[in-house]
Amino acid sequence: MILRICDNGREQIVPASPERVERVFAPEAPIADGTEITVAEGERWLTALAVGAPGGPGEFLLSGAIGETATVSGQAGRSDALRRFREFLSRGEGWTSGDQPWVR
């Protein structure tokens, strides 16, 4: 599973882990408008795009998919985005497109 962060023209791809995701979404972590944060494994992926005021309820636009079925869940605050990324990390491979609780 990978964690990909694109910020101001820089791309960083590292192995995903709960600790790294916690650091990225920490309340004190600066996240610039337009930053894209993605976790992916096989055909599963979840992305948070920073679009709103830092710390606000609509700080991120979340989207995710399994295979060809994409779902956009709308906006989320930092704590909700972190919760959904944690849930994604805790799920194993083999899920079907109907099993996407991280993109409600």
pLDDT tens figures, 1-17: 999 999 988 999 999 99
pLDDT tens figures, 59-87: 999 998 887 776 767 889 999 999 999 99
Phi-psi region of 70 (alpha: psi -120 to 50; beta: other; left: phi over 0): beta
Q: What is the mean pLDDT of residues 32-61?
A: 93
pLDDT for the residue numbered 89: 92
Mean pLDDT value across the chain: 86
